[in-house]
Structure 1
Amino acid sequence: MAETRMPTATYVCPRDGARAGSSSADWCCPVCGGPWDLDTGPLPPVRIDSLRTRVNSLWRYEEALPLAAPAVSLGEGRTPLVALTDQVSAKLDYLMPTLSFKDRGAVMLAELARRLGPDRVVADSSGNAGTAVAAYCARAGLPCTVYVPEGTSAKKTEQIRAHGARLETVPGGREATAAAARTAAGAPGTFYASHVFNPYFLHGTKTYVYEIWEERGGTLPDALAVPVGNGTLLLGAALATAELLAHGLIDRRPALIAVQAEAVSPLATAFRAGADRLPDEPSDPVRSTLAEGIAIPRPPRARQILAAVRESGGTFLTVTEDQIRDAQQDLAARGFFVETTGVACWAAVGGVADRSVVVPLCGAGLKTGLAP
């Protein structure tokens, strides 16, 4: 068993500067109710020539991570980077232990929870994050309850149950599900494994970029295309590129291309309007989309997502339902069976890339099946 060391990083609110220890029961800023960032203090650089003999998982980037010596690892990370065209490569994150990129962040949350020793863990999800939290809580021996919206893919809910988690199906959409989980998170002895509010998750997803950097011999592509709902992969990418640049390990930051489904695209709408946040009231009714994993009408980190895309010189793209269907079938014909959310970036940039781009194939097709 790995040595248990309590976390030393500090939660900090990016809006008002409020702070709390990361062993705090406060899952959000007590002043504004917003999500935390993480103050890790100065992090040493990851030297590419030091990686050759390290563990073959995301934990090889130990200098950049807020936790070390994990007991709950399932070997997550180190997924292949495969060329799709002369300009576009795909990172096969659907080859993770629970078949989605969410393992990168979920292992951090479960390891943090293991060290804090709560009575129970709760999470909310449209499917993949909940599955990942359930799996890693099983690995950690922690009781877990996952809240999902009605209509969540049956394959995803089956996977959550298989890992021994209690499943709570919530009438309504993604926001109602989050509200139910947050109510449960207020009970004493509860750790809220929120992939949106807890910044440890973002420090897990940033390893996606560290792996690309290592695989490409210490360089990054011109652009990183990322599907965006709550923005956890994009914000992790922004963290990683900022760290690599600050340490002089890259000479420029790649543009972040944020991809949303046209049916649910509040961030793309705000970006195109030049806004730095979402409007106080949603302007459009929530519609259904095949890309259920990014169908988030009001992401709590909207300001940070919009700022990160602009600071990188990136942009937002949207894709239609027909483009999602076509992209899933096209990737399957190339040998990659990817869930409908996970094909969004290929749908957006696959045939039109005029610069080097990496897209994530971030969930296995077995989770949703072929789009109707």
Structure 2
Amino acid sequence: MTHTARPTPATMALRCAACGHTHPLDDLAWRCAKCHGVLDLAGFTPVMPKAAGLATRRPSLWRYAEALPIGEPHDITMGEGMTPLVTVPGRPAVQLKVDHLMPTGSFKDRGAVMLAALAARLGVSRLMADSSGNAGTAVAAYATRAGIACDVYVPAGTSAGKVGQLRAYGATVHQIPGTREDTAQAAARAADEPGVFYASHVYHPFFLHGTKTYVLELWEQLGGRLPDTLVLPVGNGTLVLGAHLGCVELLHQGLIDRLPRIVAVQAAGCAPLATAFADGRPVPSDITAHGTVAEGIAIARPARGSQILTAVRATGGTIVTVTDDEVHAAHASLARSGLYVEPTSAVCWAAIEAGQAGQIPTTPRPDGLPTAVAPLCGSGLKSKPPA
């Protein structure tokens, strides 16, 4: 399969956030070889295209090509991105970005296409991922588009719809008994095998440069502005960190004058970040996870937890929790508004409805800008509905 993306710049590398050690992209490193710290992208300077020129570009996340670390892979992309904004009756000050209207049914397509494009550019023959479902299905879909074999590790209790979707894409599915952390450990062992590209939505920073397009689209859709508050779900933090990255890039380029406040939402049954935030801690709290209907954010030990806490605090935001009962109610409320999402996607609406996201006015701002925007991250069609 011919790959038409531009070459990856030779100056780009992966740099450890803890010790600063760098790794070339083609080393296929997924964590620091020296200290096992997480890796960030170094040697890349994003540039937002001129707003006037965006109107002539195709409606996908690739319209922001100058701000992305790899060129559009024309043989892999499926038109992901540029999802709509909608309102919910009775809450005109809040808008929802319908991010489950993606090729695989979740926002994870934003990052997965970046990883598949990089894997194709590096010429790898096999990649693997671990996931509670949505990231794995996204990686599997783009892997098959790229003609690359794919293994996906998921918890044994992953929704049957997501497992079926993985197998339909041709992925080899490894269902791991135990917790989400047990799945992550099994994947880490496989990732250390020679020649394996670990297409991790948690560890590989290319994924975050994909999810930052959520904010770039929002900025464009709102006429070059952002709302006061971004309400975002958080487990491993790929959307929180991507959104924060996008906001910082817009700020540094003078395209916004302040960072919007980030309100991150966790399930009460698995809230290491909310607990740490409340206690003023710089790292996630050591917790015992309990079951939650919000399976997509049930992460007891987020690898980028300290980065998430730092990012939220930098915006003057907060991290809150919602109960499963609140998620059930929010899920039903969204469905009655015509929006059928997976339970995890209802956590932000649950926080807004319960007042956990802070005081959000009932009417939009005088300039017409919504006070808050939240994402609908995953389609309800591939998850078991709440009981």
TM-score, structure 2 normalization: 0.93
1:154 pairs with one of 154, 160, 163:
160
Q: Which ranges of 4 or more aligned residues in structure 1 deviate by more than 4 Å? A: none
- Whether contact under 8 Å (1:221, 1:254) holds in the other structure is yes
Within 5 Å, give how 1:213-362 maps onto structure 2. Answer: 213-279=219-285, 282=286, 284-350=287-353, 352=355, 353-354=359-360, 356-362=371-377
> Using the alignment, how far apart are the partners of 1:145 and 1:6 within structure 2?
26
Alpha-carbon offset, residue 112 of structure 1: 0.6
Alpha-carbon offset, residue 3 of structure 1: 2.5
> Using the alignment, how far apart are the partners of 1:14 and 1:187 within structure 2?
23
Alpha-carbon offset, residue 50 of structure 1: 1.3
Amino acid at match of 2:202: V
Alpha-carbon offset, residue 69 of structure 1: 2.8
SS at match of 1:225: strand
The residue number in structure 2 matching 1:365 is 380
- Whether contact under 8 Å (1:223, 1:256) holds in the other structure is yes
Q: After superposition, what is the alpha-carbon deviation per residue over 1:78-102, rounded to whole angstroms, capped at 9, x for unaligned?
A: 1001122221100001110000000
- Whether contact under 8 Å (2:159, 2:383) holds in the other structure is yes
Amino acid at match of 1:77: G
- Whether contact under 8 Å (1:257, 1:316) holds in the other structure is yes
> Using the alignment, how far apart are the partners of 1:41 and 1:99 within structure 2?
30
> Using the alignment, how far apart are the partners of 1:354 and 1:3 within structure 2?
45
1:60 pairs with one of 63, 75, 78:
63
The residue number in structure 2 matching 1:145 is 151
Query: Does 60-69 or 21-30 show the bigger shift?
Result: 21-30
The residue number in structure 2 matching 1:36 is 39
Number of aligned pairs?
369
Q: After superposition, what is the alpha-carbon deviation per residue over 1:110-140, rounded to whole angstroms, capped at 9, x for unaligned?
A: 1111111212111000000000000000110
SS at match of 2:320: strand
Q: After superposition, what is the alpha-carbon deviation per residue over 1:197-244, rounded to whole angstroms, capped at 9, x for unaligned?
A: 000000000000001000000000001011000000000001000000
1:83 pairs with one of 81, 84, 87:
87
Alpha-carbon offset, residue 41 of structure 1: 3.1
SS at match of 1:95: coil
Alpha-carbon offset, residue 2 of structure 1: 4.5
Query: Does 177-186 or 215-224 show the bigger shift?
Result: 177-186
Amino acid at match of 2:291: S
The residue number in structure 2 matching 1:111 is 117
- Whether contact under 8 Å (2:44, 2:69) holds in the other structure is no
Alpha-carbon offset, residue 5 of structure 1: 4.1
- Whether contact under 8 Å (2:110, 2:213) holds in the other structure is yes
Amino acid at match of 1:69: E
The residue number in structure 1 matching 2:174 is 168
SS at match of 1:297: coil
Query: Does 338-347 or 69-78 show the bigger shift?
Result: 69-78
The residue number in structure 2 matching 1:7 is 8
Amino acid at match of 1:319: V
- Whether contact under 8 Å (1:290, 1:340) holds in the other structure is yes
**Percent of paired sites with the same residue:** 53
Amino acid at match of 1:82: V
> Using the alignment, how far apart are the partners of 1:40 and 1:162 within structure 2?
37
Amino acid at match of 1:59: W
> Using the alignment, how far apart are the partners of 1:312 and 1:181 within structure 2?
33
Q: Which runs of 5+ in 1 are unaligned?
A: none
Q: Which runs of 5+ in 2 are unaligned?
A: 362-370
SS at match of 2:27: coil
Alpha-carbon offset, residue 46 of structure 1: 2.7
Alpha-carbon offset, residue 350 of structure 1: 3.5
- Whether contact under 8 Å (1:6, 1:116) holds in the other structure is no
> Using the alignment, how far apart are the partners of 1:121 and 1:42 within structure 2?
27
- Whether contact under 8 Å (2:46, 2:66) holds in the other structure is yes
> Using the alignment, how far apart are the partners of 1:189 and 1:12 within structure 2?
20
Amino acid at match of 2:385: L
Q: After superposition, what is the alpha-carbon deviation per residue over 1:293-312, rounded to whole angstroms, capped at 9, x for unaligned?
A: 00000000011000000000
Alpha-carbon offset, residue 56 of structure 1: 1.6
Alpha-carbon offset, residue 104 of structure 1: 0.4
Alpha-carbon offset, residue 4 of structure 1: 4.7
Alpha-carbon offset, residue 187 of structure 1: 1.8
- Whether contact under 8 Å (1:229, 1:293) holds in the other structure is yes
TM-score, structure 1 normalization: 0.97
Alpha-carbon offset, residue 31 of structure 1: 1.6
> Using the alignment, how far apart are the partners of 2:374 and 2:280 within structure 1?
25
Q: After superposition, what is the alpha-carbon deviation per residue over 1:127-182, rounded to whole angstroms, capped at 9, x for unaligned?
A: 00000000000110100000001100000000000000000011111111111111
Amino acid at match of 2:84: P
Alpha-carbon offset, residue 24 of structure 1: 1.6
Q: After superposition, what is the alpha-carbon deviation per residue over 1:25-80, rounded to whole angstroms, capped at 9, x for unaligned?
A: 22111122122110143322332111011122100001110001313101100100
